[in-house]
Structure 1
Amino acid sequence: MQVNGTPFRSIWLTPDKPEVLVIDQTLLPFVFEVRTLTSSSETAHAIREMVVRGAPLIGATAACGLFLAAASDASEDNLRRACEELLSSRPTAVNLRWALDRMLPLLLEVSESERAGRAQELAQQICDEDVNTNSAIGDHGLTLISEAANACPHRPVNILTHCNAGWLATVDWGTALAPIFKAHDQGIAVHVWVDETRPRNQGASLTAWELGAHGVSHTVIADNAGGHLMQHGEVDLCIVGSDRTTRAGDVCNKIGTYLKALAAHDNGIPFYAALPSSTVDWTISDGVRDIPIEERAEEEVSHICGRDSEADRLVRVRIIPDGSSAANPAFDVTPRKLVDGLITERGVVKACEDDLISLFPQDAEVRNI
């Protein structure tokens, strides 16, 4: 994607030295800043503090972090230590473990002197694959938007999305936003209802910024407005991302997704989750029971960040009374019965185990499913 006419990925490796560059998403939409990571510990910190976020990007970032670990000390002990540190940074997104499980055995197969070079190759490969995967997700999701456009030829297709599942949440293209970008590029009239997505306002801050930069018509709404819009026929379909999807089709995504799915189900509006196969956790079937839900700091709820336009600076203010506590579960699980389909790089399937296995038989086979 482009920022002010310059093409960017959300993460990239420098070719001639062990550095990884990322866009600092904690400063958007007001400040665009690139941060340099030089160690696996810095990478884990960037994941934990949400300098980078989004399940596919977390996986790619972890891969780059393991490369930085190998570049500094390629011993098996250090690589395993780095993996443990990276794994502990965010517990919910399964892509993180997927990337490390893919890389570590391959690194240990080669001599210690070869590991840094091999790690760089593998990290770059994971980043490049993510771009191609998300582009394919966009192609398959485009079909759904095209069908909706044919059903309402005299007005834009109204799509509701939650949180940020655009190119900032991946290496490029995004998951839930990829079909929207492709529809817009093909001249299909689309309008996006952007949930603000409290408490970190990733919809208002990141999704709106991405859509605006791409020229896509959009409107930011309060999190609780979605059901009202659905009741009044102002939403044609919902597309969200996923941080972990069970083999049975339960979708874990940003807190508040479940409520949107309930409202969509009640109003007969199609509800889709867009995700790469690396987001499927083949080891579990019951998402509500088995997916660990990250509890983040209560300050994310009790305080809010924004720009003081008069002073032209970013400020952080408290919005709840002193003495009041706050709870901050970062994700919830939408049961498969509320999900009309999963948009993957190999096509759109029902949110059920048999359909996922038929689409990704080699992944299921590895897990003896």
Structure 2
Amino acid sequence: MKKKKTPTRLPKIILVGGGHAHALFLLYWSKLSEKPAAVTLISLSDYAPYSGMLPGLVAGHFGHDETHIDLRELCRHAGATFIQGRADAVDPSRQQVMMSNDTSLNYDILSINAGAGPNLATTGADNLTIPVKPISDFYQVWMELLSQIQTPKQFNAPLSIAVVGGGASGVELIQAMHHRLQREAASGASYNLSLVQRGRGQPENYPKGLQQKFATRLARQGIAVHEKFSVNRVEKNTESSLLHASDGRKLAANYIIWCTQAIGAPWLKRTQLPLDGDGFIEIEDTLQAVGHPLIFACGDCASMVNHKIPKAGVYAVRQAETLTHNILALLNKESLRVFKPQRSYLSIVTGGDQWALAARGGLSLPICSPRLVWQWKRHIDKRFMAQFQF
């Protein structure tokens, strides 16, 4: 009698987080005729927002489905397993991911692409502000706020909204909110918008020519800009909250949107992986966690030890190809590839309505009219999202 052949156990790959790099990894994985491993994606939400389209979503240019990747459908297409849940810790010695529901999953290879979290260390920020990240939570609050101001009623005082953060995200977001409110606020509703920033120039660290154009635009939109306003605490103030600056200035707002520099998510401290000063996973050029060859990290949750790169979606997108190659190389015991980040990248900053400016490497790009730049960005974003339509 012939002995039954024991089926070979496929290696287990666990992906924590549905960020851009993991979404593209699953897309590449779907094209493999033979799957050399069993892949599982863990994500708290079954939809992953495409961050580049958030201002357009807030402004009302795009809908939810146009700006979100359906992770369940993507996993089905790639032959992967989807688990909706929260990873809470990692034990590299046991090769296990611990979940918040007290279950654990074993892995042979682990990859983390779980984004970044808001820095709420400022006194009062944790319970008196609305963080932009996670995007899904922010968007829900934004829709509730929008519903409130769309409802016809007697407004005793203007509704005040402050966005804290003078980077590109803050500048784009406040103009997107202005555009939507201008179009959809109920008759008789009044509101005012303020941009609060630690530095100068809108957005900070962009070419002066571009900043001047945005400063003029913000003024025309009636958006108050508070430069050199370093928030050191947030307090409750009757029906609103009060932002306190280190120089003694104060600003009251009904809603405070927190759009400052992000930090590593708190749960990463429970991974036993090396973290940098901001709580991000330190990785080698191969995208492997330092000292942990079976663990990869990419996107905003990772910090390359040999390269200082900004937290920008373009890097996560470009890391996806290297991540896919290296995971397959590890499975096949082949040489890994290094990721070489580009020195500069195209940055397109939007201005609420169908208007945008472009910059690259510290230089403004006066390539065409702001309307055409917006259409160009729309084309780039739509093309990226079209990959996930099955």
Structure-2-length-normalised TM-score: 0.27
Structure holding more helix per residue = 1
Computing the radius of gyration from Cα coordinates, the structure with the larger value is: 2
Q: Select the structure that is richer in strand.
A: 2
TM-score w.r.t. structure 1 length?
Answer: 0.28
